Structure 1
Amino acid sequence: MGKIRINNMKFYTKNGVLPQERILGQQLEVDVELRLPLETAGKTDNVEDTVSYALVNDQIAQRLSNHSYNLIEAVASAILDDIEAAHGAVLESALVRVRKYSVPMPGIFDNVEIEMERAFK
């Protein structure tokens, strides 16, 4: 078993509960961890024997460019839906983290992050 990780993908989005979040927009960061057998790809050196992380990155970019959500939980769930639809037959599971930096609440903090994981088999 192996893992493919794509870390700190950055996307400018118009997500959020408050109207000003949807008007002004904000940057979200996304991490994805895909768990799957990688032994064959390691031996064949063929992208067809693994999951193309370039394709996964493109799918996430398309999702965040074409949809708006109130909650980052919904963002993570939609990303997992897309990953499952495209690669669920190959993957054991996937984990998604979504970070939001411009959170309209009092206090001193770096970001708010949610994490969701889904098993496919």
Structure 2
Amino acid sequence: MDTITLNNIRVYAYHGCLPEETKIGSDYRVDLSVDANLDLSAETDELGDTVDYVHLNKIVKEEMSQPSKLLEHVAKRILDRIFTELDLVKVSKVKVAKLNPPLGGDVEDVNITLSRKRD
């Protein structure tokens, strides 16, 4: 199995359980990897034979723009869309990090990681 990885996708979004989090927003970082068989695209040099990382980035940005209370929820939506829209993907892992979270202390980020396999 081969891997495509997008690291440090930066977005400004409105996730959180506190009312001010959904009004003010915050900086987020998303890391995403997908496993797929890339043998054909390595031979043909054709975009249609691979997992388009522009499409992956679009999914992340669109799902991050939809407010959620929990990072787990937005990560699951990202994974659901990947498996719905990209048939070549067999395994995917997404890490969503909220930078400088409002925890009343000096914390660089809080993050969650979800992984899924195609059934």
Q: TM-score range, shorter-chain basis? A: over 0.9
Amino acid at match of 2:27: Q
**Aligned-CA RMSD value:** 1.1
Q: Is the 8 A contact 2:100 2:107 kept in 1?
A: no
Q: TM-score, normalised by structure 2?
A: 0.94
Q: Return 5+ residue gaps in structure 1 as ranges.
A: none
Q: Percent identity?
A: 31
1:112 matched residue in structure 2:
110
1:72 matched residue in structure 2:
71
SS of residue matched to 1:68? coil
2:3 matched residue in structure 1:
3
Q: TM-score, normalised by structure 1?
A: 0.93
Q: Return 5+ residue gaps in structure 2 as ranges.
A: none
Counterpart CA distance in 2 for 1:92 and 1:64 is 22
The ranges of structure 1 where at least 4 consecutive aligned residues each deviate by more than 2 angstroms after the TM superposition are: 106-109
Amino acid at match of 1:80: L
Counterpart CA distance in 2 for 1:107 and 1:22 is 20
Deviation at 1:2, TM superposition (A): 0.5
Residues 53-91 of structure 1: CA distance to partner in whole angstroms, max 9, x if unpaired? 0011112212222x110011111101001111101x311
Equivalent residue runs for 1:71-110 within 5 Å: 71-87=70-86, 89-110=87-108
Equivalent residue runs for 1:37-56 within 5 Å: 37-56=37-56
